[in-house]
Amino acid sequence: MSDTSTATPESLSQTLAESGLRSTPQRELVFNVLLKKRDHPTADEVFARVKAEMPTISLATVYNCLETLVQCRVVRAVNFERGPTRYCPNQKPHAHFHDESTGSTHDIDLPPGLLDQVKSILPDGYDSNSVEIIFRGKAKD
Amino acid sequence: MSDTSTATPESLSQTLAESGLRSTPQRELVFNVLLKKRDHPTADEVFARVKAEMPTISLATVYNCLETLVQCRVVRAVNFERGPTRYCPNQKPHAHFHDESTGSTHDIDLPPGLLDQVKSILPDGYDSNSVEIIFRGKAKD
DNA sequence: AGTGAGATTTAGAATAATTCCAATAAACTA
DNA sequence: TAGTTTATTGGAATTATTCTAAATCTCACT
Ligand SMILES: [Mn+2]
Ligand SMILES: [Mn+2]
Ligand SMILES: [Zn+2]
Ligand SMILES: [Zn+2]
């Protein structure tokens, strides 16, 4: 059973190509680091993880790569409070749960139809192409 | 018919007092400016509007007042993308619609029960005390 | 009314995250 | 392989916000 929720490493170079962008070791590594530990890291955290494998990479490049991955829609940028942007490789539509006691962020699967249901509250004249749902609270564990 | 969705100017000093804080001309004015034009201004925008009436106020004070109003829960801080925090005096539970073509933000009323319905998707062990819903798209007008 | 304690405001310095820039390097194309 | 375009890099610049320390204000108490 293959995971359709995220692009696989092999498919990244294809996705990049489809956008007229090149596959580079930096882009591949940044993406792999996001896939490996899905804790919604900041750019700085991605930088630290990536540097362990590619010590010469620069922070500017990490920002560039993340931006590129977001443009290609293989990664989502998440902002739920002032503070560094966080990055998420989960391609499946999902909500975010921000645990206020630990500071950690969890993905919450959405039951089919929920997004449409939520979109249906929009008055006439509002045409939405994306819905973001953010929970805040405390999670067991 | 009184508007129960936002605190009235008179009630602010009471709300402040309940939190052990003082009512000051700066706090009152910052709050009134938010009530007067509900376009989710940034701190800088609030500063500009407030300065028109109180030319000696400082930006630091505007930040301080906004922070105070958020603590007292008479104002909501809104962050849906990297970029300056925006401030909203609508106390009623509501969603935000971010119009990508104009950059403007609209409040969307929530039908009763919707928040509970959305909260009900949370798996066991997740205890949420707030839900935020953000739409992105284009609005007529 | 006068005094002192604590709260608030203020200007400017400091910080954090991100973006910009101009030079180098790498990748693709012909 | 030469030429062209795209990507990476380190450092400077920018933006939004927070911090700091001094001045001012408010309130409670006399
Ligand atoms: Mn970051
Ligand atoms: Mn601002
Ligand atoms: Zn996520
Ligand atoms: Zn609002």
Question: What does the block give as tokens for B38?
Answer: 């509900």
Q: Report whether pLDDT(A2) > 60.
A: no
* Count of domains for chain A: 2
Model pLDDT, residue A141: 76
Q: What is the distance between the alpha carbons of residues A92 and A12, in angstroms, rounded to a whole number?
A: 16
Helices (H) and strands (E) in chain B, counts: 5, 5
CATH number of the domain within which B75 lies: 1.10.10.10
Model pLDDT, residue A7: 47
Task: Calculate ∠ Cα A63-A65-A68, nearest 5°.
Answer: 110
B38 vs A: CB within 8 A: no
Q: Confidence band (pLDDT; 50, 70, 90) for A10?
A: low
Query: Does residue B1 belong to any structural domain of this protein?
Result: no
Q: Nearest protein residue to C9's C1' (by CA)? A: B61
Name every residue whose Cβ is closer than 8 Å to that of residue A75 and which is 6 or more positions away in sequence: A31, A34, A66, A69, A87, A88, A89
What residues make up the domain containing A109? 94-137
Model pLDDT, residue B80: 87
Instruction: Supply the mean pLDDT for chain B.
Output: 92
Based on the domain organization, do B68 and B84 belong to the same domain? yes
Query: Does residue A125 belong to any structural domain of this protein?
Result: yes
Report which DSSP code applies to A83: S
Task: Give the number of whichever ligand sits closest to the CA of residue B66.
Answer: 2
- A56 is near strand D: CB distance < 7 Å: yes
- In chain B, residues 71-110 whose CB comes closer than 8 Å to chain A: 77, 79-82, 85, 95, 97, 106, 108-110
Model pLDDT, residue B47: 98
Based on the domain organization, do B78 and B126 belong to the same domain? no
Based on the domain organization, do B119 and B76 belong to the same domain? no
Model pLDDT, residue A11: 87
Q: Could you tell me which of B72, B2, B6 has the C-alpha nearest to residue B34?
A: B6
Model pLDDT, residue B92: 93
Interval A80-112: pLDDT, tens: 899 999 999 999 999 999 999 899 999 999 999
Report which DSSP code applies to B111: P
Percent of chain A scoring above 90 in pLDDT: 87
Instruction: Supply the mean pLDDT for chain A.
Output: 92
Question: What does the block give as tokens for B4?
Answer: 């129960």
How far apart are the CA of B85 and the centre of ligand 2, in A?
5
Model pLDDT, residue B141: 76
Based on the domain organization, do A105 and A127 belong to the same domain? yes
A86: left (phi over 0), alpha (psi -120 to 50) or beta: beta
- A42 is near strand C: CB distance < 7 Å: yes
